[in-house]
Amino acid sequence: MSLIAPPEPPLRVALDDDHRQRFWFRHWLLVWTVLTILVTGWFVSLGPVPAILALVVAKHILVALLAVGLGVDQNPEVEA
């Protein structure tokens, strides 16, 4: 049985000097984090059942945002 290797990822060219893109990405992460916390707080004020559901969902959203912010999804081999 032959195995086919995945194609090489494209090279990153001139992306390290784009501080504006990093700023807006961090801004996007902060906006979604604050929005998640505010919506969760509103659901908590509705009662115990919506509060539990909102906290479970918010936990997953915040962990996903943290993972994206830490760059877990980036390829470690690509060092421009």
pLDDT (tens place) for every residue of the chain, 80 residues total: 567 877 787 766 655 556 788 888 899 999 999 999 999 999 999 999 999 999 999 999 999 999 998 888 777 665 55
Position 6 in a domain = no
Position 59 in a domain = yes
At 41 the pLDDT is 96
Position 66 in a domain = yes
Position 15 in a domain = no
Q: 13 CB contacts (<8 Å, ≥6 apart)?
A: 80
Position 47 in a domain = yes
* Domain count within the chain: 1
Burial of 61 (0-12, 13-18, 19+ CB in 10 A): middle
Q: Which domain holds residue 40?
A: 33-70
